[in-house]
Structure 1
Amino acid sequence: MTRYNLAGRTVAITGSTGGLGSAVAQALRERGANLALLDLDAHAVSQQAVQLGGQNVARGWAADVRHIDTLQAALDGATEHFGRLDVVIANAGIDTMAPMAKLDPEAFDRVIDINLKGVWRTFRAALPHVQEQRGHLLAISSMAAFCHSPLQASYTASKAGVWAMCNSIRLEIRHLGVTVGSVHPTFFKTPLMDHVVADPAGNTLWGGNQTGIFKFIDIKSVVKGIVTGIERRKPMVVVPKSHTIVAKAPGLARPIIDRIGFRGSTIPDAIAQSSRTGWNKP
């Protein structure tokens, strides 16, 4: 496959000031990409933009993935500022560490709202701009999409949902020339994982992620996987690659179903007949 050259393209990242977001942003700048940095704290993203080279190549916008109007304003602004929007990375995410019997319902809802619905809102707001460039949408999921741990029902459900949602959206927009990918790393050290390790329940569950199958991998390998995934427009990125068989096993039949189940113009025809409310009720 021809390499999707990132030089001169504009990439938007939600959760840009977090551990993974910051590392990915730096790697993309090194590839020559212009960056639209989206996060909750306007001052933090402005400072991040300065550190990455200033407004000609990086600019920050305050945006909350729980509110699509803030995402729309930020992505519209980014497109106007840079003249184009090619790639959008839905990276914002949170976690919890408690069983269903203890977890506050509001905490469960917040994880789903940010991790799952936030990806949908990000893609929804970005699509009109990315479509013009026949670009790429990328969501940060997890190996938790396939390996479902206890005390993390909200997190595993959200990450499995992101994987499934990306597979659905990929079919919806493939005729537009827009590609969709999901990223599935195992554990790697970030401020989010620092909270997990510091939490007594999380430390008991994962053993501090120092040894065994739950041992941390280097964040550099995750960043490399993400950048390579964009450059090759991959539908799925698994880090490390040794976990690929675990990740792909649940969806072995999906490419066949995608190919033979929705032939020709079936999907565009169905889209043309659909309603904004989700149903055309008699």
Structure 2
Amino acid sequence: MSERSEGPLSRAAAPLNAQVVVVTGAARGLGALMARKIADRGARVALVGLEPELLKEAAAQCGPEASWWQADVTDLTELSVAAQGIKEKYGRIDTVVANAGIAIGGPLLDSDPAAFNRVIEVNLLGSVTTARAFLPALIESRGYLLQIASLAAITPAPLMSAYCASKAGVESFAHALRAEVAHQGVKVGVGYLSWTDTDMVRGADQDDVLREMRTKLPWPANRTYPIGPAVDRLVAGIARRSAHVYAQAWLRGMQPVRWLLPPLIAAVGSREVARLAPRLAATAATRLRAVGAGGAADEAARDRGRVG
């Protein structure tokens, strides 16, 4: 029986080594490593992102059948063109990992409104756009969508209001979408990560005040975790088509007590913010852009679009 003649139910049961997997935000960091480890398990992968040279390099590490596609996840036209191209190249799409994201830090009133809004646009609306672009193919394959969220979806954190709002939003979006598409055979999962050694976290840690604030978080949320084991857990969850995937095992235990966290954070966080307020004010001008190399890539892509 040919690959195209297989029924949708048989494709849904395919192991990872028989799948076509799309990863957004795949030019660097978490996305690039996920794509590579998924490819190591035999899948054909398509990497989507903003930086063509890095995407090309990352795809080359994923084997000869990997491909890369330059697209902004907030642009439905670009992403739909990529989705169509991937579908035409491989004949189907079985799994999509909505991973693209950026972050800013600092108090709301010190933030640049455009930069704050861009975090919501990329992280939340970019995930919505990703679902719009790829769901038709996933419905056809009875596939799986993994939405990458964060510890920030479980617990609020002062000085991270844009990121927390966006990740709480994508968590809720994914839960709602799960119920909408279940009858069509599509499974939807949410991936949770604590602070993991990525470009984004390293970029945030370049800010002395934000780094100090993070050290005041209770253990185990106050440490940075290696990226390798986190990605291994995510890939294992993708292979299982899990509803919830935890990049650090202790995050699972946060779910039953998450209702306790907002008042706790309000009490402890308010004292720390008050203590750091003078330093935050003095360094506010350094926090007007998204952190890390991924944030810089997003800004550069938008600048190119404005010039074009």
Tell me, yes or no, whether TM beats 0.5.
yes
**Residues 1:21 and 2:31 are matched in the alignment:** yes
Q: CA deviation at 1:208?
A: 9.7
Is the 1:7–1:31 Cα contact (8 Å) retained in structure 2? Answer: yes
Shift in CA distance, 248/59, structure 1 to aligned 2, threshold 3 Å: farther
Letter paired with 2:150: S
Equivalenced residue count is 248
Please report the TM-score for the alignment, with normalisation by the length of structure 1.
Answer: 0.83
- Kindly tell me: are residues 216 and 74 of structure 1, through their superposed partners in 2, closer, same or farther at Cα, counting changes over 3 Å? same
Counterpart among 176, 186, 189 of residue 168 in structure 1? 176
Shift of 1:46: 2.1
The more displaced of 104-113 and 37-46 is: 37-46
C-alpha distance in structure 2 between counterparts of 1:213 and 1:128, whole Å: 38
How big is the shift at 1:248? 4.5
What SS is found at the alignment partner of 1:214? coil
Structure 1 residue 87, shift from structure 2 partner:
0.4
Question: Which of 212, 237, 240 pairs up with 1:229?
Answer: 237
The answer as to whether partners of 1:14 and 1:21 remain within 8 angstroms in 2 is yes
Q: 1:44 aligns with which of 33, 36, 54?
A: 54
Deviations 1:122-153 (A, max 9, x none): 01100011111100001110011011111110
The change in CA–CA distance for 1:24 and 1:139 in structure 2 (over 3 A counts) is same
Structure 1: gaps spanning 5 or more residues = 252-282
Is 1:95 matched with 2:77? no
Question: Measured at CA, do residues 114 and 4 of structure 1 come closer, stay the same or move farther in structure 2, by a change above 3 Å?
Answer: same
- The percent of aligned pairs where both chains have the same amino acid is 35
In structure 2, what is the Cα distance between the partners aligned to 1:130 and 1:42? 25
Q: CA deviation at 1:249?
A: 4.4
Choose which of 220, 238, 261 in structure 1 pairs with 2:228: 220
Give the CA deviation at 1:243. Answer: 2.3
Aligned counterparts of 2:137 and 2:258: Cα–Cα separation in 1: 32
- Which residue pairs with 2:249 in the alignment? 241
Contact 1:138 1:180 in 2 (8 A): yes
Q: Distance in 1 between matches of 2:227 and 2:42?
A: 21
Equivalent pair of 1:197/1:208 in contact (CA under 8 Å): no
- Aligned CA distance change for structure 1 residues 168 and 228 (closer, same or farther; 3 Å): same
Q: Tell me how far apart the structure 2 counterparts of residues 222 and 76 of structure 1 sit (CA, whole Å).
A: 30
5+ long unaligned stretches in structure 2: 1-11, 260-308
> What one-letter code is carried by the residue in structure 2 that aligns with 1:22?
A
CA contact (8 A) 2:40 2:62 kept: no
Q: TM-score, normalised by structure 2?
A: 0.76
Equivalent residue of 1:52, what SS? Answer: coil
Deviation at 1:245, TM superposition (A): 2.4
Trace 1:93-242 onto structure 2 (pairs within 5 A). 93-207=101-215, 213-242=221-250
Post-superposition offset of 1:112: 0.2
Task: Give the superposition deviation at 1:212.
Answer: 5.2
Q: Aligned partners of 2:97, 2:112: CA distance in 1, in Å?
A: 29
The CA distance in 2 between the partners of 1:9 and 1:213, in whole Å, is 34
